[in-house]
């Protein structure tokens, strides 16, 4: 009976969408080659998604078993954080073999089955490619660090130190997480450069052999049918060839829009011309695989003008798109969002497509800055799936999984360990997750022990309120956040205007409480209205045929608190 009920709610939602149909063609107008422009992406952190063998950590087989959850949501593309062979010191972002699967996640056969199962559902799969660095346990680094003469001696960024004994770092560059990024290696009596943590040495892309080896890694997975890549810290690939010192800066901590921090401008270690150029080389490799065309999204940090060069260097093709992390720091206010969308539309006008991401495995849960308020979370989802751009949903966002408070001191995350001397109350004040364990707690599947995530001991704690936040419970509740996600994503899928339509801000309707924009495609036009306030707003002036609302309402003249609605104009 229970199963029947929850199946039915989702089934009903889909059927309703078919019937609430209005006169537009059903399929997106994006050509096959441009499928990514109108896609929707769901990010899986494999360690935390579903554990099929009871060892307390998620695995590939677990993902296969839960694919229908993502399919039912209406999502097209799945991006999976790295599951390659790794000592797991940074939980997979420290790779020791790009072509093998970490045994705790599965094996090659399961990986190929995963690709096949995703394609069988008419979905796409995007791998996470960590090109900037390897683990210090990668065979390449072991060989490279052995002495200065071996065949891989120049595969990493090695430099002599300064000072009398050569024990001072070669220059003043800071790692992106603070502290010198140069690390002394006793074997070579030299320093190696690491943009992130010391056990993640940067590869040396000015060595053509390195470049070609890494392009081969990309080819390897593309030839196995992978539909594209999310590219980890892609703006750190190249360094300045003459290793000039970075200039001073007053900035203390880097932000999403500026990598400058720790009192220096990251002028010579990130966002280098070589990295922009490399984006075009990688694009050529990716484009050599067709039917279907493949897709890349870069994790880059910096102002939009600079980072946009990753998508179009000297007018040539680069990455398809990049993450625009301003979304993570923009307060949930009508005017701020209007400004953000205006900026994204300006900088990423056609043929570019902006991205909209509100949390990931490094950043606090998206519902946290919304005071864990489900009404706001629905409006956020409504925005994400109605605005022009590629929406990224991080697993559990559709349930409103909340950020727990996990102390730095006991954090498994290597960043938490690095910062553990920072007083906890200071971290709590920021509301951010310096301990990234907080962003990675297990997916909540049902109300049984461990929320149905594992039959063993979960590697991270299960959310305390899992009994009302899990998939099964929310599937049975017609007004749950999960059912709202299903409703809005399927509505978007059925309405090409929301995928491919142009966007124009409805300036005359925007104010402190309301953000509004038009979407237009061919002869059709809709108005999207978002009430960012907790008050009702008289909307008589802009009433028209209501075709979608976050709420169940027929009152065309009143915009309800935190309501998002779509009106058909023509
Ligand atoms: C990226 C990843 C993060 C990882 C780091 C080093 O920022 O998102 O999780 O720790 O790169 O690879």
Residue by residue, what is the 3-state secondary structure of 67-113?
HHHHHHHCCCEEEECCCEECCCCCCCCCCCEEEEECCCCCCHHHHHH
Position in ligand 1 atom list of the atom nearest CA 415? 10
What backbone phi and psi angles, to 5 degrees, belong to 501?
-65, 155
* CA–CA separation, 58 and 91 (whole Å): 12
C-beta of 130 in contact with ligand 1 (< 6 A): yes
At residue 140, the pLDDT reads: 98
- pLDDT > 60? residue 405: yes
- Which residue in the block uniquely carries the two structure tokens 């800071």? 174
- pLDDT > 90? residue 440: yes
Number of Cβ within 10 Å of residue 363's Cβ equals 22
Contact 45, 453 (CB under 8 A): no
- pLDDT > 50? residue 434: yes
Give residues with Cβ within 8 angstroms of 156, minimum separation 6: 140, 141, 144, 145, 192, 193, 201, 202, 203, 204
**Six-digit token string for 183:** 């690390």
Cα–Cα distances in angstroms (integers) from residue 519 to residues 208, 267, 339, 433, in the given order: 46, 39, 17, 35
- Residue nearest (by alpha carbon) to ligand 1 atom 9: 362
* CA–CA separation, 209 and 225 (whole Å): 25
Ranges of beta strands (E only) in 194-318 are 228-231, 295-298, 312-313, 316-317
At residue 30, the pLDDT reads: 64
The rounded mean pLDDT for the chain is: 93
**Of 29-38, 178-187, 399-408, minimum mean pLDDT range:** 29-38
At residue 481, the pLDDT reads: 98
- Residue nearest (by alpha carbon) to ligand 1 atom 12: 93
End-to-end Cα separation, the chain, in angstroms: 43
Cα–Cα distances in angstroms (integers) from residue 366 to residues 329, 362, 408, in the given order: 11, 12, 20
Q: How far is the CA of 97 from the centre of ligand 1 (A)?
A: 17
What pLDDT, in 10s, does the model give residues 48-97?
A: 999 999 999 999 999 999 999 999 999 999 999 999 999 999 999 999 99
On the question of a cis peptide bond just before residue 475, with omega within 30 degrees of 0, the verdict is no
- pLDDT > 80? residue 343: yes
C-beta of 233 in contact with ligand 1 (< 6 A): yes
Dihedral, CA atoms, 377, 379, 384, 387, nearest 10 degrees? -170
C-beta of 174 in contact with ligand 1 (< 6 A): no
Contact 310, 322 (CB under 8 A): yes
What pLDDT, in 10s, does the model give residues 218-237?
A: 999 999 999 999 999 999 99
At residue 409, the pLDDT reads: 94
C-beta of 362 in contact with ligand 1 (< 6 A): yes
Among candidate residues 493, 496, 494, 538, the one with its CA nearest the CA of residue 514: 538
- Which residue in the block uniquely carries the two structure tokens 């280098």? 272
What backbone phi and psi angles, to 5 degrees, belong to 269?
-115, -10
Angle at 209 between CA 208 and CA 211, to 5 degrees: 65
At residue 555, the pLDDT reads: 83
- pLDDT > 70? residue 521: yes
Among candidate residues 368, 431, 439, 437, the one with its CA nearest the CA of residue 409: 437
C-beta of 196 in contact with ligand 1 (< 6 A): yes
C-beta of 528 in contact with ligand 1 (< 6 A): no
* CA–CA separation, 202 and 138 (whole Å): 12
Q: How far is the CA of 162 from the centre of ligand 1 (A)?
A: 29
* Parallel/antiparallel/unpaired status of strands 77-80 and 124-129: parallel
- Residue nearest (by alpha carbon) to ligand 1 atom 7: 233
Handedness of CA 107, 112, 115, 121 (dihedral sign): negative
List active site positions: 232, 299
* CA–CA separation, 228 and 331 (whole Å): 31
Number of Cβ within 10 Å of residue 479's Cβ equals 13
At residue 31, the pLDDT reads: 67
Among candidate residues 335, 373, 341, 378, the one with its CA nearest the CA of residue 513: 335
* CA–CA separation, 399 and 181 (whole Å): 38
- pLDDT > 80? residue 16: no
- pLDDT > 50? residue 212: yes
Q: What is the mean pLDDT of residues 496-512?
A: 97
Chain centre distance of CA 408: 23
C-beta of 361 in contact with ligand 1 (< 6 A): yes
Q: How far is the CA of 93 from the centre of ligand 1 (A)?
A: 6
Q: What pTM value is reported for the model?
A: 0.94
* CA–CA separation, 491 and 15 (whole Å): 11
H helix or E strand, kind and range, residue 546: strand 545-549
C-beta of 128 in contact with ligand 1 (< 6 A): no
C-beta of 117 in contact with ligand 1 (< 6 A): no
Contact 123, 75 (CB under 8 A): yes
Percent of the chain beyond pLDDT 70? 94
**Six-digit token string for 261:** 């921090």
Position in ligand 1 atom list of the atom nearest CA 132? 12
- Could you tell me the pLDDT band of residue 540, with boundaries at 50, 70 and 90? confident
**Mutation pick for ligand 1 pocket among 175, 196, 301 (CB with most ligand atoms within 8 Å):** 196
Number of C-alpha atoms within 13 angstroms, CB side, residue 553?
A: 18
Among candidate residues 48, 240, 234, 35, the one with its CA nearest the CA of residue 125: 35
Cα–Cα distances in angstroms (integers) from residue 255 to residues 251, 260, 340, in the given order: 10, 8, 16
* CA–CA separation, 52 and 459 (whole Å): 14
At residue 255, the pLDDT reads: 87
What pLDDT, in 10s, does the model give residues 463-485?
A: 999 999 999 999 999 999 999 99
Rounded-to-5 percentages of helix, strand, coil across the chain: 35, 20, 50
- Residue intervals of the chain classified under CATH 3.20.20.80 are 2-131+213-239+271-494
C-beta of 437 in contact with ligand 1 (< 6 A): no
Q: How far is the CA of 440 from the centre of ligand 1 (A)?
A: 13
- Residue intervals of the chain classified under CATH 2.60.40.1180 are 502-568
- pLDDT > 50? residue 176: yes
Q: How far is the CA of 334 from the centre of ligand 1 (A)?
A: 31
Q: What is the mean pLDDT of residues 25-43?
A: 80
Q: How far is the CA of 270 from the centre of ligand 1 (A)?
A: 15
- Residue nearest (by alpha carbon) to ligand 1 atom 5: 93
Q: What is the mean pLDDT of residues 324-352?
A: 96
Q: How far is the CA of 537 from the centre of ligand 1 (A)?
A: 43
Answer whether CATH 3.40.718.10 is correct for domain 2-131+213-239+271-494. no
Q: How far is the CA of 302 from the centre of ligand 1 (A)?
A: 16
* Parallel/antiparallel/unpaired status of strands 77-80 and 228-231: unpaired
**Mutation pick for ligand 1 pocket among 43, 48, 86, 93 (CB with most ligand atoms within 8 Å):** 93
- Could you tell me the pLDDT band of residue 40, with boundaries at 50, 70 and 90? very high
Position in ligand 1 atom list of the atom nearest CA 360? 8
- Residue nearest (by alpha carbon) to ligand 1 atom 2: 232
CATH topology of domain 502-568: Immunoglobulin-like (2.60.40)
Q: How far is the CA of 444 from the centre of ligand 1 (A)?
A: 24
H helix or E strand, kind and range, residue 55: none
Q: What is the mean pLDDT of residues 99-121?
A: 98
- Could you tell me the pLDDT band of residue 26, with boundaries at 50, 70 and 90? very low
Position in ligand 1 atom list of the atom nearest CA 195? 6
If 0-12 CB within 10 Å is exposed, 13-18 middle and 19+ buried, where does residue 523 land? exposed
Query: How does DSSP assign 179-226, residue by residue?
Result: SBSEEEETTTTEEEE-SS-TTSPBB-TTSHHHHHHHHHHHHHHHHTT-
C-beta of 155 in contact with ligand 1 (< 6 A): no
* CA–CA separation, 498 and 247 (whole Å): 45
* CA–CA separation, 294 and 35 (whole Å): 9
């Amino acid at each position: 009976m229970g199963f029947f009920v929850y199946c039915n709610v989702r089934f009903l939602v889909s059927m309703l969408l078919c019937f609430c149909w209005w006169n537009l063609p059903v399929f997106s107008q994006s050509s096959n080659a441009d499928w990514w422009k109108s896609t929707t992406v769901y990010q899986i952190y494999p360690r935390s998604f579903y554990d099929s063998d009871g060892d307390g950590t998620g695995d590939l087989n677990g993902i296969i078993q839960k694919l229908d959850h993502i399919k039912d949501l209406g999502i097209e593309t799945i991006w999976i954080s790295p599951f390659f062979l790794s000592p797991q010191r940074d939980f997979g972002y420290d790779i020791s073999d790009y072509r093998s699967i970490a045994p705790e996640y599965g094996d090659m056969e399961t990986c190929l089955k995963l690709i096949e199962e995703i394609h069988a559902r008419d979905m796409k799969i995007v791998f996470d490619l960590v090109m900037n660095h390897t683990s210090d346990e990668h065979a390449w680094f072991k060989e490279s660090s052995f002495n200065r003469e071996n065949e891989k001696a120049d595969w990493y960024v090695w430099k002599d130190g300064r000072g009398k004994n050569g024990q001072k770092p070669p220059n003043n560059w800071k790692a992106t997480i603070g502290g010198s990024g140069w690390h002394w290696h006793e074997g070579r009596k030299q320093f190696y450069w690491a943009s992130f943590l010391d056990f993640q040495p940067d590869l040396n892309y000015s060595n053509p052999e390195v470049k070609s080896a890494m392009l081969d890694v990309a080819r390897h997975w593309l030839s196995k049918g992978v539909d594209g890549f999310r590219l980890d810290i892609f703006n750190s690939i190249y360094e300045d060839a003459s290793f000039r010192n970075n200039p001073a800066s007053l900035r203390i901590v880097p932000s999403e829009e500026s990598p400058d921090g720790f009192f220096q401008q990251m002028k010579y270690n990130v966002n280098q011309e070589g990295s922009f150029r490399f984006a075009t080389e990688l694009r050529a490799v990716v484009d050599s695989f067709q039917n279907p065309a493949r897709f890349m999204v870069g994790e880059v940090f910096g102002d939009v003008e600079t980072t946009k060069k990753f998508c179009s260097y000297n007018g040539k093709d680069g990455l398809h798109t990049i993450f625009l992390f301003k979304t993570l720091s923009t307060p949930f206010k009508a005017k701020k969002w209007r400004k953000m969308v205006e900026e994204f539309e300006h900088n990423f006008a056609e043929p570019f497509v902006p991205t909209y991401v509100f949390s990931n495995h490094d950043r606090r849960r998206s519902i946290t800055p919304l005071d864990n308020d489900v009404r706001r979370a629905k409006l956020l989802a409504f925005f994400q799936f109605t605005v022009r751009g590629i929406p990224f949903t991080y697993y559990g966002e559709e349930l409103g999984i909340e950020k727990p408070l996990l102390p730095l001191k006991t954090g498994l995350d290597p960043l938490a360990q690095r910062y553990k001397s920072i007083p906890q109350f200071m971290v709590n004040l920021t509301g951010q997750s310096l301990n990234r364990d907080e962003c990675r707690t297990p997916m909540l599947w049902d109300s049984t022990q461990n929320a149905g995530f594992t039959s063993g001991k979960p590697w991270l704690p299960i959310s305390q309120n899992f009994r009302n936040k899990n998939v099964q419970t929310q599937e049975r509740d017609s007004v749950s956040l999960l059912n709202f996600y299903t409703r809005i994503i399927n509505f978007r899928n059925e309405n090409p205007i929301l995928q491919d339509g142009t966007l124009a801000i409805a300036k005359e309707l925007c104010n402190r409480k309301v953000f509004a924009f038009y979407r237009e495609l061919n002869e059709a036009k809709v108005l999207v209205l978002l009430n960012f306030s907790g008050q009702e707003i008289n909307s008589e002036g802009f009433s028209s045929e209501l075709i979608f609302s976050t709420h169940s309402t027929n009152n065309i003249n009143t915009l309800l608190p935190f309501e998002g609605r779509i009106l058909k104009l023509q």
